[in-house]
Amino acid sequence: MTTCSICAGDRQTPYVHHDGYDYVTCLGCGFVFLDPMPDPERLVQIYNQDEASITAGSYPKAASRKRRAILRAMKLMPYFFGRDAIDVGCGGGFVVNAMRRLGARASGLDISAPAIAYARAAFPRAAFYEEDFKVFLGREQQFDFLHSSEVIEHIGDVNGYMRFLAAIARPGARLFMTTPDIGHRVVPDTVTDWDMLSPPRHVHFFTESTLETLLNTHGFDLVKRYYKKNAPTLQVLARKR
Ligand SMILES: [Zn+2]
């Protein structure tokens, strides 16, 4: 028996079998997840393989990442200007750099050594931490703005991840989170044609409803949804109670 991370229900139905992995759908809430869930060590191993092309001097598509990060930060600036901000899963530090340039005291956290080496070399005026959540919690830092883009779908223990975000968020802090949207109208009917369906990298998929439930469980209220008509992505702003 597997317990749903979102609603704690224990009934699932097969969703799709792909590349040797099985996704199931929770009959209680519609959350889609890998069952069995791969070991966290295995997920870190895959993540490191995917990061193999990153060095201190080079990051794939750096110029366009930098440009997109500035555009996103402009949209979110009211929530971090003059405040303490962090990008959790910051990769090469593009969003951290953008938030710093637009007035935040900005930090970035990632477990990838080459990504953080790149970030430190490219953006020496921001603070970067190459460590896991447990170690970072020991710093007892808290923030007014948290950015978490395309991270949660890689982490098997979603409740552990949300507990971490809640622990580093001050009351009233804003959280901007993005993740693929399996409920979006442009997801192909034959879901195996969807490039986001890439097990075991993406270990689960949210809809607006399952993401909102998870946020609420961990003390965040959904404030705003940024709907992209042609991109199957959930982009939400939430507020820590
Ligand atoms: Zn459920």
pLDDT, tens digit, 9 for 90 and up, residues 194-233: 999 999 999 999 999 999 999 999 999 999 999 889 999 9
Outline where 170-222 has alpha helix (H).
208-217
Distance 9 CA to ligand 1 centre (A): 5
> Tokens 């295995």 map to which residue?
42
- The fold of 54-240 is Rossmann fold (3.40.50)
Distance 59 CA to ligand 1 centre (A): 37
Beta partners for residue 177, in sequence order: 148, 236
Distance 7 CA to ligand 1 centre (A): 4
**Does residue 51 have a pLDDT over 90?**
no
C-alpha to C-alpha distance for 107 and 137, rounded to whole angstroms: 14
**Does residue 48 have a pLDDT over 90?**
no
How far is residue 174 CA from its own chain's centroid? 15
Residue ranges near ligand 1 (ion) with Cβ within 5 Å: 4, 6-7, 9, 26, 28-29, 31
The pTM assigned to this predicted structure is: 0.96
Distance 224 CA to ligand 1 centre (A): 23
